[in-house]
């Protein structure tokens, strides 16, 4: 088994995935808030 060296892992792919997750979550929250405001305005 190969020995693990702390701090040697390439994390570029994980950083890209996390950035995509944050962007998706941000857009989802914005869309949900807009939908809730719209429903509140329509319902009176």
pLDDT tens per residue, range 2-44: 787 888 888 899 999 999 999 999 999 999 999 999 999 998 7
How confident is the model at residue 13, as a pLDDT? Answer: 94
Give backbone dihedrals phi and psi of 6, rounded to 5 degrees, phi first. -65, 130
What is the C-alpha separation between 41 and 44, in angstroms, rounded? Answer: 5
How confident is the model at residue 33, as a pLDDT? Answer: 98
> In terms of residues, how long is the chain?
44
What is the C-alpha separation between 27 and 24, in angstroms, rounded? Answer: 5
How confident is the model at residue 3, as a pLDDT? Answer: 82
What is the C-alpha separation between 39 and 11, in angstroms, rounded? Answer: 42
Q: Which two tokens stand for residue 26?
A: 């941000």
How confident is the model at residue 1, as a pLDDT? Answer: 63
């Amino acid at each position: 088994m190969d020995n693990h060296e702390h701090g040697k892992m390439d994390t570029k792919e994980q950083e890209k995935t996390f950035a995509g997750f944050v962007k998706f979550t941000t857009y989802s929250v914005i869309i949900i808030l807009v939908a809730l405001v719209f429903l509140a305005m329509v319902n009176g």
